[in-house]
Amino acid sequence: MTIPNTRPSLMVKQLYDRESCTYSYLLVDAESQEGAIIDPVRELFDRDIEIINELGIELLYSIETHAHADHVTSAGKIRQTTGARIVFGEASGIQAIDISIKDGEELALGNYKIKAIATPGHTAACTSYFVDGMVFTGDTLLIRGCGRTDFQGGDPAVLYDSITDKLFPLGDEVRVYPAHDYNGRISSTIGEEKRWNSRLGGNRPKQEFIDLMNNLNLDLPKKINEAVPANMSVGINFDPNRYLLHDFDMNNLHDVWQSLPEQSLIVDNRTPEEYAKAHVPGSRNIPFGTENEHIDLFNQYQQVYVYCRSGRRAQTAFTNLNMQGLDHLVCISHSGMPNWIDAGYPVET
Ligand SMILES: [Fe+2]
């Protein structure tokens, strides 16, 4: 009896989020135990980490196909927990990532290479990933469908070209694993989609596709106002009820300041010169751009409030720190020190 050749192969675990109908994928090279996760969902972080730990996976990458509008990623938390590097398509412009991947670039995963294919059109920064006869298409190519093109830099003409010029030529046998399916379908193939995709299969002409996409009149995703900004900061526990990102102003900060618990820190992230002129009494000056050097300090407090002059620097630092895994920050994003002074609150110089 001959024993079949058991060449180590790439294991793929397809994981599902019932709420947003999102598929996440865990790829593992069986020989090296190196792994990557694609499009992890915040609410399912514990599930995913449990699997990663149980299987003894050394997670190298947390890969995003794009900034999702319907769910928040757990990429930031995954990085914090496993040390995996966050991968995003180059066009995303997201600062908080580790690998800004270009079209055609590859990620080494054990015996495999995961190749990035820039497939803009659903969003401007959508990227598909090809490995071992499979393509992970995000929302670019869905099973019998495709992602919408009416927000986040979407463009039906660009999407048509991405699918027909970059995905279809991969070959009919290539298996297609999308970021979503709303009808319980798990995967497809390029050949099937070329023939039966309801949006652009059967050689539908480009202009017909554009007209179709421009007349879908879809409702916005329920979570878009939360998900897109959160995903631009790789999604670390962005909970608007807790962080009150858009509602927390200097008056709220004043309320907090009046009976500030010992475990709280107020950070002024303007320049030392601005801080010297006037600041919230008891606040600590950590100038914008240096916040990464103070993560240990932030972690000594249960709550950290960050303000600046207009809110822009505070917001940026907040996003940056979120990406580093800090989920106990409150950012004053639309007001700042001038509002505090105008309100007649006490000032320290
Ligand atoms: Fe999407």
Choose the final residue of a domain: 189, 224, 259. Answer: 224
- 182 and 71 in one domain? yes
Considering the domain boundaries, does residue 233 fall inside one? no
For residue 179, how far is its CA from the centre of ligand 1 (angstroms)?
8
Average pLDDT, the chain: 89
* Dihedral, CA of residue 312, residue 339, residue 256 and residue 276, to nearest 10: 80
How distant, in Å, are the alpha carbons of 166, 186, 234, 327 from that of 162?
5, 22, 25, 36
Give the chain's count of helices (H) and strands (E): 12, 18
CA of 132 to the centre of ligand 1 (A): 24
Could you tell me if 166 and 270 lie in one domain? Answer: no
| CATH number, domain containing residue 303 | 3.40.250.10
**Ligand 1 center–CA 59 separation, angstroms:** 24
CA 259 to ligand 1 centroid distance, Å: 43
Residue 124 CA to ligand 1 center (angstroms) comes to 11
Q: How far is the CA of 81 from the centre of ligand 1 (A)?
A: 25
- Residue 344 pLDDT level (bands cut at 50, 70, 90): very high
* Mean pLDDT within 328-336: 84
Domain-ending residue, one of 174, 191, 224: 224
User: What is the count of structural domains for the chain?
Assistant: 2
DSSP letter for 41, please: B
Residue 148 CA, ligand 1 centroid: distance in Å: 8
Domain span at residue 19? 10-224
Q: What is the CATH number of the domain that holds 42?
A: 3.60.15.10
Give the amino acid at 64.
Answer: E
pTM of the full structure:
0.69
Q: Give the residue-averaged pLDDT of 290-304.
A: 90
Token pair 């699997």: residue: 51
In this structure, are 245 and 209 located in the same domain?
A: no
Q: Note whether residue 229 is domain-resident.
A: no
Model confidence at 245: pLDDT above 50: no
| Distance from Cα 140 to the centre of ligand 1, integer Å | 8
Pair 158, 246 in one domain:
no
Per-residue pLDDT, 183: 92
Together in a domain, 200 and 289:
no
Cα of 70 to ligand 1 centre, how many Å? 7
- Which regions of 218-328 does DSSP assign to beta strands (E)? 264-268, 284-285, 303-307
pLDDT at 273 exceeding the cut of 90: yes
Distance of CA 66 from the midpoint of ligand 1 (Å)? 7
Question: Is residue 348 a part of any domain in this protein?
Answer: no
Do 79 and 206 sit in the same domain of this protein?
yes
Q: Please give the distance, rounded to the nearest whole angstrom, from the Cα atom of residue 4 to the centre of ligand 1.
A: 41
Are residues 325 and 185 part of one domain? no
Report the pLDDT value the prediction gives residue 8, as an integer from 0 to 100.
Answer: 58
Phi-psi region of 31 (alpha: psi -120 to 50; beta: other; left: phi over 0): alpha
Spacing, Cα 153 to ligand 1 middle (Å): 11
pLDDT(249) > 80: yes
Burial category of 215 from C-beta neighbours within 10 Å (exposed 0-12, middle 13-18, buried 19 and up): exposed
Task: Tell me the pLDDT tens digit for each residue of 101-112.
Answer: 999 999 999 999
5: in domain: no
What is the Å distance from ligand 1's center to 64 Cα?
Answer: 11
- Residue 5 banded pLDDT, cuts 50, 70, 90: low
CA of 54 to the centre of ligand 1 (A): 30
Pick from 197, 224, 251: which residue ends a domain?
224
Same-domain pairing of 301 and 162: no
Tell me, yes or no, whether 15 lies in a domain.
yes
Does the pLDDT value for residue 184 go beyond 60?
A: yes
217 and 244 inside one domain: no
The answer to whether residue 257 sits within a structural domain is yes
| Domain-embedded: residue 282 | yes
Spacing, Cα 280 to ligand 1 middle (Å):
41
Q: Are residues 44 and 166 in the same domain?
A: yes
Q: How far is the CA of 241 from the centre of ligand 1 (A)?
A: 24
If you measure from the C-alpha of residue 91 to the centroid of ligand 1, how many angstroms do you get, rounded to a whole number? Answer: 15
Q: Are 260 and 216 found together in one domain?
A: no
Within a domain: 66: yes
CA 330 to ligand 1 centroid distance, Å? 27
> What integer pLDDT is reported at residue 300 of this predicted model?
92
Residue 200: band (very low, low, confident or very high) from pLDDT cuts 50, 70, 90 = very high
> What average pLDDT does range 315-326 have in this prediction?
75
193 and 276 share a domain?
A: no
Cα(214) to centroid(ligand 1), Å = 17
Ligand 1 centroid – CA 216 distance (Å): 15
Strand 303-307 relative to strand 99-101, pairing: unpaired
